[in-house]
Amino acid sequence: VNMVRTSHYPQSSWFLDACDRLGLLVFEEIPGWQHIGDAGWKAESVETVRRMITRDWNHPSIVIWGVRINESRDDHDFYVETNRVAHELDKTRQTGGVRYITDSEMLEDVYTMNDFILGNEELGGNRPRTALRPITETTGQQKPVPYMITEFGGHMYPTKSNDQEQRQAEHVRRHLEVLNAAYGNPGISGAIGWCAFDYNTHKDFGSGDRICHHGVMDMFREPKFAAYAYASQCEPDEEIILQPVTFWARGERNIGGVLPLMVLTNCDEVEIQYGATVVKRAGPDRQNFPHLPHAPVVFDRRNFTAEELGLWGMEWHDTTITGFIGGKPVKVVKYVADPVAKTLEVVADSTSIGATDAVRVMVRALDQAGHKLPFFPEPVSIEVTGAGKLIGPGTVPLRAGSTGFWVQATGPGTIDVTVTSDRLGTTKVSLTAG
């Protein structure tokens, strides 16, 4: 099942209503990060537990209450009280307390742990690359306890949506390795990655642009490749996923070419046709990802010789990638060898909104095959007229071939949105507010 952690503060009731409708499980927790204050501060924090549960207990999507300040040190009396209040108000749900320290006192029903061990091998030491720590190492207890991973990834490998393809492929692999380890350990009840979306931050915490590029999607909710590590775990009858982790360019990767090429998919097999003659087919990589419901398909030198994909300096060709289920083709993705900007796409999440609502509008520069151009940074100008207003600046650059903005309705009526690119011209969309 899918789960979201409200890290780390209670969310809007509108958000929880949406989770109820979607069937998205929720781990809701009290506000705070690491700091624990004086007695008065603790008393107020206990009251936030009371207010959170009193307000939100009737949301069926909530399955666990977070009653510990995120990543704080142990504080016996304080956390005895937060747990007591939670259980007094709601005897039907478990409590958890998100921590990053090992051998922490377990006062909650579920030991919830932020596990950032993957990537620590870069700091040296004797531990090899490890997806998740052994449960007994983190809990300090030899007996089994209810256990959930509440963060992984994130700052250990920040990845921008316009980063080089090899970095994005490694970003994907790290998420897959943790998911595979979690699926393969029956003692782990779940693993929640950090995090869904990139977010604004301050100079002491993020990249030089004051953004934490920790998400599997960017700040406009545009998916990076790593988002499909999760999407591909759904069953095909829900949605067929076929997402190659590539921009399909000869010289994007070190030394050149696209191998190893990972295809995130829930198909049985994937076929690549390179140019007019070279056709290769492969199945899921169960050797490296034995526990995933749907392991990725990986093409490498076992599938292609250097000559078959062409050596450096040789002509680069179009390709067609096809997913098969039960021996039948079910989805096709095509790439062109010479992508150029062809289309300025402007799409609103909804063309009909309430008279006081806001809506996201996405702008994308697309090539001949309909793919975003990842290194198209040119600016677009935005104009909103009628019964709405633009939230934010009127001129913005594209990042990884896309950008987004929000339009706020100012009353009932028609809202006209005009987006202009010097190279791609003008695209208009109309919305209705009322």
* Helix, strand or coil, per DSSP, at residue 272: strand
Strands 211-212 and 343-348: unpaired
Task: Please tell me the predicted confidence (pLDDT) of residue 392.
Answer: 92
Q: What are phi and psi of 29, to 5 degrees?
A: -140, 165
Task: Please tell me the predicted confidence (pLDDT) of residue 305.
Answer: 87
- C-alpha 430/C-alpha 36 separation (Å) is 50
310 pLDDT more than 90? no
- C-alpha 91/C-alpha 307 separation (Å) is 65
- pLDDT per residue over 368-385, tens digit each? 999 999 999 999 999 999
205 pLDDT more than 90? no
Q: Are 316 and 336 in contact (CB under 8 A)?
A: no
CA distances from 90 to 13, 48, 49, 62, 95 (A): 18, 14, 11, 12, 10
- pLDDT per residue over 351-370, tens digit each? 999 999 999 999 999 999 99
Q: Which CATH architecture has domain 343-433?
A: Sandwich (2.60)
Least confident range of 221-230, 309-318, 321-330: 309-318
Q: Are 24 and 2 in contact (CB under 8 A)?
A: yes
Task: Please tell me the predicted confidence (pLDDT) of residue 400.
Answer: 94
Q: Which residues are catalytic?
A: 71, 151
- What is the pTM assigned to this prediction? 0.95
Domains 242-335 and 343-433 belong to one CATH topology: yes
Contacts of residue 124, Cβ cutoff 8 Å, sequence gap at least 6? none
**Domain segments of the chain as ranges:** 3-232, 242-335, 343-433
Residue whose token pair is 């531990």: 127
Q: Are 132 and 115 in contact (CB under 8 A)?
A: yes
Specify the CATH number of the domain 242-335. 2.60.40
For residue 388, the surrounding DSSP H or E stretch is: strand 388-391
Ramachandran quadrant class, 160 (left: phi over 0; alpha: psi -120 to 50; beta: rest): beta
- pLDDT per residue over 30-86, tens digit each? 999 999 999 999 999 999 999 999 999 999 999 999 999 999 999 999 999 999 999
- C-alpha 32/C-alpha 44 separation (Å) is 12
Q: Across residues 294-313, what is the average pLDDT?
A: 89
- Amino acid 224 reads K
User: How many residues make up the chain in this entry?
Assistant: 434
Mean pLDDT over the full length of the chain:
96
* Nearest in space to 218 (alpha carbons), one of 262, 166, 163, 173: 163
* Helix, strand or coil, per DSSP, at residue 142: coil
Q: Is 241 exposed, middle or buried (0-12, 13-18, 19+ CB in 10 A)?
A: buried
Domain 3-232 homologous superfamily, CATH: Glycosidases (3.20.20.80)
Stronger pLDDT, 434 or 277, i.e. the higher one: 434
Strand ranges (E), 234-356:
242-244, 261-265, 269-274, 278-282, 297-299, 319-325, 328-335, 343-348, 352-353
200 pLDDT more than 90? yes
- C-alpha 214/C-alpha 198 separation (Å) is 5
